[in-house]
Amino acid sequence: MDFTNYMSDRVKPMQGSSIRAMFKFLEQADIISLAGGSPAPESFPGRELAEIASELLAEKSHICLQYGVTEGYTPLREIVKGRMAKVDSHKEYDETIITSGAQQAIDLALKALINKGDGIIVEQPSFIGTLNSIRSYEAKLFGVPMQDDGMDLEATEEILKTENIKIIYTIATFQNPTGITMSNEKRKKLLELAKKYDVLIFEDNPYGELRFAGEPTVTIKSLDTEGRVLYFGSFSKILSAGLRLGWVTAHKDIMDKIVVLKQVNDVHTPVLNQMMAAEYMTRYSIDEHIAKIRKLYGRKCGLMLEAMDKYFPDYCKYTRPEGGLFLLYTMPEGYDAKELLNKAIANKVAFVAGNTLMLDMDKPCSSFRLNYSLVAEDKIETAIKLLAEVL
């Protein structure tokens, strides 16, 4: 059967994530993948979580195997609210709910706010999951280039002046895919622009706690006094990606709608997973755990940059992140990272070609994303050497 005519107009232009497609390379043992965005498996507290899960199932099955509240398991919500206090002063009007990853929170917030044709400004390149979610709601995407200190605010204002924009989406800290962090000055200015042109900001911050160098920045959410900023957090990179736990903090008037949408989407995030995370953070210090992850990623990123400095041609440039999971490599204009990827795969190394992360995926792009969290430390130099050969 040909199902094309059955497909909704919404999904027709959408393509499967080529990053997901990359996951197949992770299964081929002889290819070193710098493509995915997965956290380091050695950072998962497997044994501790196994013990907790088995106790919960044995002693609290009446709770963890039962339906739960849509907003989230209360003890976990309280812990998340407590952690939010570190990055944002408590606002009376805000609510925080637990979601099935930040991905679901972003998708539901878009669903609550976006009509077909509404404009959304995004950094370019940006996170494919959000780009595809925006596409599925038939919003109009406007990309602004990245600069060393975050998104180009002059370009942002030019778009705000002329287009019907509702939301600015930013990954201000250790951006995916560039690794760039927005300066505090720009954060203030971005919020001023949002006020001036009356738009909302989505601050997506799954990497904020993974700083291994440089000075901390403030969250845009902490500067906001009106509820103009929706903040998205995630446990994926600080505890476990597979537990699918994230959260959103937003004004309660918006949250009321998000909660209804979550109810019809998945009723609630799995209770067992939420209880496991809450119990882990009650028994152990998550801050000590995160400190270890920061150290690990700082070391891995350092090894990658060291090898790149040594083996890569000097006509290319790359970002030097102070945290997070990624860096972006840019070849001279005219080179196509997609073409290079085929050669790289033949040489047993993989990355994400930049065109996938741009608004126009079909246009050749000279940048590509490298991930340093997943690859084993003793394979980093080899991976970079293999890539240098094809470069």
Ligand X SMILES: Cc1ncc(COP(=O)(O)O)c(C=O)c1O
Compute the least distance from the CB of residue 309 to ligand X, in Å. 26
Task: Indicate the residue among 109 and 341 with the shorter CB distance to ligand X.
Answer: 109
CA distance 183 to 217: 7
22-30, 52-60, 97-105, 133-141 -> range binding ligand X (CB under 6 A): 97-105
Compute the least distance from the CB of residue 324 to ligand X, in Å. 9
Residue 178 sits in the site that holds ligand X (CB under 6 A): no
Q: Which residue is nearest to ligand X (CB)?
A: 101
Site for ligand X (CB under 6 A): which residue of 102, 160, 191, 275? 102
Range 112-144 burial, b when 16+ CB lie within 10 A, else e = bbbeeebbbbbbbbbbbbbbbbbbbbebbbbbb
CA distance 314 to 154: 30
**How do 94-99 and 150-151 pair as beta strands?**
unpaired
Site for ligand X (CB under 6 A): which residue of 124, 176, 273, 274? 176
Q: Minimal CA–CA distance to 64: which of 324, 275, 372?
A: 275
Compute the least distance from the CB of residue 207 to ligand X, in Å. 7
Site for ligand X (CB under 6 A): which residue of 36, 68, 125, 246? 246
DSSP notation for 140-189: EEEEEEEETTEE-HHHHHHHHHHS-EEEEEE--SS-TTT-----HHHHHH
Are 382 and 347 in contact by the 8 Å Cβ rule? The answer is: no
Compute the least distance from the CB of residue 258 to ligand X, in Å. 15
Are 88 and 222 in contact by the 8 Å Cβ rule? The answer is: yes
Residue 321 sits in the site that holds ligand X (CB under 6 A): no
Site for ligand X (CB under 6 A): which residue of 68, 72, 101, 298? 101
Query: Binding mask 13-32 vs ligand X (x if CB under 6 A, - otherwise)?
Result: --------------------
Site for ligand X (CB under 6 A): which residue of 203, 204, 209, 279? 204
Alpha helices of 176-270 — where are they, by DSSP H? 184-196, 220-223, 252-266
Compute the least distance from the CB of residue 32 to ligand X, in Å. 20
Site for ligand X (CB under 6 A): which residue of 79, 109, 171, 293? 171
CA distance 125 to 144: 8
Contacts to ligand X by CB under 6 A: 37, 101-103, 127, 129, 171, 176, 204, 206, 234, 236, 241, 246
